[in-house]
Each structure stands twice: as structure tokens, then as C-alpha cells.
């Protein structure tokens, strides 16, 4: 790391969100960017995910549309930064009862009207798309726009591109305090002080703590998801299976559905893993004999009302925030819009629904 201490923009958080913002800023020729992380990229939620790029079914419909815009940006991102194993597999969200079919029909109608390509599949159509799927399936919702990506490759390529654009990184460096002095942010870290005109809080789970340094309340919850990883198997799951699983390009199948309140505890628990195994086999009976190599847990960052927190923080001048679940799905769009906001004070797609000011309690 160089000895520079003064920057124009400091981004706290080097996950898919922070690195994505740094990428778009630097790509647009913003200079003097510093990205600080208390660990190394992928040590937080970005490294503990199935990495779906999932659109259909998200609520409300406007948010689903917003998400679609992000999914559409992936091919261009991959073209620019290199192979990130982005696969627009199409997403299938199956159901096994007639009651659920009625729910599905409503969702398909509503989202189609909102401009999201989604259709209802019959049992036969599901089995045609996924021959190994359970014969008990009743139907599914399907969108051609869903897919998945390799988060390790995504971060690796972001870092390389950012370095090539002279973004400075400070890893293994925890932020211990933030002040505002004479119009500049002073970020106190384990390795000393840095100053910047603009500050972006993109610290995932830890954004609440970062916000507190500036008396900004960040209403986010932690929800754990446990995931099973099988041994590499020949490609047989061709789509991303909503809410449950997908197969990686190198062969392993990832299975995970759980949503638990567990704080920061990233252990895997036998009871949940047993449940997860059961669902995996119910969806794809052929998986029964596949070996489980390991399990891991990720803690989702879920804003109180379930949709992202993006944009400026009104009560602190030049302070920005980007914290959300589905960071992998939204990374290209968040990076694009936040960089526009930071550099030109305007965004090409409206983010008014995602402002932090929508939460009534903002302490001073």
C-alpha cells in the first residue's frame, strides 16, 4: 500500500457491493479512490453465497424490475472485466401443490404486467427443462432472465480491474471510528487515519456499526442461510432452481433454503443440514447418492423492509450508503447507479424507493 492518506472517495467494504462501486467509479475515471476492508474480499457475505442472479418473484414488482436491470448488466460487465462464469441459465421456481399454483398464477400475471419476462410452466414443461427433477412437481414459475455467477471470480476480476485503474486497497484494516472535520470525513482505522471528501458505507453486515459512528441508524437484520456443497457431479441441473439450489460450472451442486436468526454465528447445524438434504433429494432424487463435501453458512443482510438501502444519507453531507441482500444480483446496477450519484449527483434509474430516509427513526 502506498503512503497516501487523503482521498477523494473512500469506500468502506470490499465485497461485491463495495468493489462494484469502486469499479464503476474508477471506470468512469474517478481518481483517488480508497477501498477499506476489515478483512479480505469474500470473508463476509460475498464469499458465502450460492450467488444466484435472481429476478422473478421478488417483491414488490418495482423491485423485481429494478433487479432485472441489474441482471441485464452482467454480460457487459463480464465482457469488460473478464470471465466471471456468469450463466443466464433461466430460473425455475417449482411448486408441489395446487394451492401454490394459484399463488404462482397471480405472481406471473402481476410481474408480467410490470415488464418482467415470467411464465407458468406445467409439470411436463418443468420436466422437459429439467429431466432429472422430481416427478411429483405440479408446476413452476420460470423466467429466462435468472441465472448465477461465480462470486470468487467476480471479486477477483473486480480487484484486478480496480487495481489497473489505480484504486487503492487497504485490507485487514478495521475502521474504528469516523468523524467529520472541516467538511472532510476522517476515517480512523487500525492502520491510521484517512481523509476523504466523499464516504461510501458498503460494509454489509457491519454497516450498522459504521453508521453508528456518524449517528446514522441503519436498520438491517442478519439472517443466516446454510448451504450444502456436493462433490463435483456431471452437469445435470441446467437451470437455477429458485429458493433452493444450483449446480456450479465445475460440478458441485449447492443446496440451501434456510433462513434463521443466528446473529453472526456462521456455524452449520446438523438439524438444518438434515432438512436441507431432504429437500435436495426431494427436488432431485438422483442426488441421494451424491457425496456431501462440506457445508457453509452465509449471513444475509436484510434491510428491515426487505428492499435495498441505496443513495445519499441526507443528514450527513457527502455520505453515501449501499447495503442490501442479493448483493451479487444487484452488484452491477448498484455499482453503476452509485457511481453516477457520486460523480454527477443524478442516477439513470430512479432510486427514490431505496432511500434511507424512508425509515422514520433517524437519530441525530
Partner 1 sequence: MNEETIICPCEDVTYSDLESVLSLGAETFDDVKRFTRCGMGSCQAKACFYQVSKLISKRKQIPLSKIPYTHMRLPLRMIPLESLLGEDKEKPVKTSLSEGHANE
Partner 2 sequence: MDCDVCIIGGGPSGLAAAWQAGKTGLSVIIVDENQMLGGQLKQQRQPIQNLPDIFTNQQLTGFELAHELIHLIEPYDIKPLTGFSFIGVEADGTIGVNNGRETRKIRAKCIIVATGAAEEPILFPGWTLPGSFSIGAMQILINREKIVPGRTAVMIGSSSRTCQVASEMQQAGIIIAGVIEEKAKFDCSPSDLQHLKKLNIPLFAGVSKIRAEGEEEVENIHFKAGDGKEQSINTELVCIDGGLSPVVESNFILGYQLQFNSDLGNWIPSYDSCFHTSAPNVFVAGNAAGITSHGAILITGLIAGLSAAEALGKYSNKETVSKQRKKWWNELKTVEMAYDSTVYQARIQHVKQFEQLKIKQMS
The correct pick among 268, 282, 318, 347 for binding partner 2 (CB under 8 A) is: 268
| Residues 165-194 interacting with partner 1 (rule: CB under 8 A) | 169, 171-172
Residue 93 binding: pick among partner 2, partner 1, none (C-beta 5-8 Å cut-off by kind):
partner 1
The correct pick among 20, 57, 311, 332 for binding partner 1 (CB under 8 A) is: 57
| Residues 5-44 interacting with partner 1 (rule: CB under 8 A) | 39-40, 42-43
260 backbone dihedrals φ, ψ, rounded to 5°: -130, 150
**Radius of gyration for the alpha carbons in the chain, expressed in angstroms and rounded:** 21
Nearest-angstrom CA–CA distance, 102 and 196: 53
292 near partner 1 (CB under 8 A):
yes
Residue 174 binding: pick among partner 1, partner 2, none (C-beta 5-8 Å cut-off by kind):
none
The correct pick among 2, 3, 135, 274 for binding partner 2 (CB under 8 A) is: 274
Q: Which position has the grid cell 465445475?
A: 250
What dihedral do alpha carbons 307, 310, 314, 317 form, nearest 10°?
160
> Beta strand pairing status for 184-189 and 175-181?
antiparallel
93 near partner 1 (CB under 8 A):
yes
Residue 359 binding: pick among partner 1, partner 2, none (C-beta 5-8 Å cut-off by kind):
none
Nearest-angstrom CA–CA distance, 200 and 12: 6
CB atoms within 10 A of CB 173: 18
Q: Interacting stretch for partner 1, rule CB under 8 A, among 175-183, 200-208, 236-244, 338-346?
A: 236-244
Beta bridge partners of 240: 91
Q: Which is nearer to partner 1, 63 or 320 (CB)?
A: 63
The correct pick among 65, 213, 257, 359 for binding partner 1 (CB under 8 A) is: 257
CB of 271 to partner 2, least distance (A): 5
Residue 242 binding: pick among partner 1, partner 2, none (C-beta 5-8 Å cut-off by kind):
partner 1
Q: How many CA atoms lie within 13 A of 124 on its CB side?
A: 0
CB of 280 to partner 1, least distance (A): 6
Residue 39 binding: pick among partner 2, partner 1, none (C-beta 5-8 Å cut-off by kind):
partner 1
345 backbone dihedrals φ, ψ, rounded to 5°: 60, 25
Let me know if 345 is exposed, middle or buried by CB neighbors in 10 A (0-12, 13-18, 19+): exposed
User: Are the C-beta atoms of 148 and 246 separated by less than 8 Å?
Assistant: yes
Nearest-angstrom CA–CA distance, 107 and 115: 12
Which set of grid coordinates corresponds to residue 24?
464503476
Beta bridge partners of 91: 143, 240
The correct pick among 182, 270, 288, 364 for binding partner 2 (CB under 8 A) is: 270
Residues binding partner 2 (CB under 8 A): 267-274
Binding residues (CB under 8 A) for partner 1: these are 39-40, 42-43, 47, 57-59, 63, 93-96, 100, 103-104, 136, 152, 155-156, 159-160, 169, 171-172, 223, 225, 228-231, 242-244, 257, 259, 266-271, 273-275, 277-282, 287-296, 300, 302, 306-307, 325-326
Amino acid at each position: 500500500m502506498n503512503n497516501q492518506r487523503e482521498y477523494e472517495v473512500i469506500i468502506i467494504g470490499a465485497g461485491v457491493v463495495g468493489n462494484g462501486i469502486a469499479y464503476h467509479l474508477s471506470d468512469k475515471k474517478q481518481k483517488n479512490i480508497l477501498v477499506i476492508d476489515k478483512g479480505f474480499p469474500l470473508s463476509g457475505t460475498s464469499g458465502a453465497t450460492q450467488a444466484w442472479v435472481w429476478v422473478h418473484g421478488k417483491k414488490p414488482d418495482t423491485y423485481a424490475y429494478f433487479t432485472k436491470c441489474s441482471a441485464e448488466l452482467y454480460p457487459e460487465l463480464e465482457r469488460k472485466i473478464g470471465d466471471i462464469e456468469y450463466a443466464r441459465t433461466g430460473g425455475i421456481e417449482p411448486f408441489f401443490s395446487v394451492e401454490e399454483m394459484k399463488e404462482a398464477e397471480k405472481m406471473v400475471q402481476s410481474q408480467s404486467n410490470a415488464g418482467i419476462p415470467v411464465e407458468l410452466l406445467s409439470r411436463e414443461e418443468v420436466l422437459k427443462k429439467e429431466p432429472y427433477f422430481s416427478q411429483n412437481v405440479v408446476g413452476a414459475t420460470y423466467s429466462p432472465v435468472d441465472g448465477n455467477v461465480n462470486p470468487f471470480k467476480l471479486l477477483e476480476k473486480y480487484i484486478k480491474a480496480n487495481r489497473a485503474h489505480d484504486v487503492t486497497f487497504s485490507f485487514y484494516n478495521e475502521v474504528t471510528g469516523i468523524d467529520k472535520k472541516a467538511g472532510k470525513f476522517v476515517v480512523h482505522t487500525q492502520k491510521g487515519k484517512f481523509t476523504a471528501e466523499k464516504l461510501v458505507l458498503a460494509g454489509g453486515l457491519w454497516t450498522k456499526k459504521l453508521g453508528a459512528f456518524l449517528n446514522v441508524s441503519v436498520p438491517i437484520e442478519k439472517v443466516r442461510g446454510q448451504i450444502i456443497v456436493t462433490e463435483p457431479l456431471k452437469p445435470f441441473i441446467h437451470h437455477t432452481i429458485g429458493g433452493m439450489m444450483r449446480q456450479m460450472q465445475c460440478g458441485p451442486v449447492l443446496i440451501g433454503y434456510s433462513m434463521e436468526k443466528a446473529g453472526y454465528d456462521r456455524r452449520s447445524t446438523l438439524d438444518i443440514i438434515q432438512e436441507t438434504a431432504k429437500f435436495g433429494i426431494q427436488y432431485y432424487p438422483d442426488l441421494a447418492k451424491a457425496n456431501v463435501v462440506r457445508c457453509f453458512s452465509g449471513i444475509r443482510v436484510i434491510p428491515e423492509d426487505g428492499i435495498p438501502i441505496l443513495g445519499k444519507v441526507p443528514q450527513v453531507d457527502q455520505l453515501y450508503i449501499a447495503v442490501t441482500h442479493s448483493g451479487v444480483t444487484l452488484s452491477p446496477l448498484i455499482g453503476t447507479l452509485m457511481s453516477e450519484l457520486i460523480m454527477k449527483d443524478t442516477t439513470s434509474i430512479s432510486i427514490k424507493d431505496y432511500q434511507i430516509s424512508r425509515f422514520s427513526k433517524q437519530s441525530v
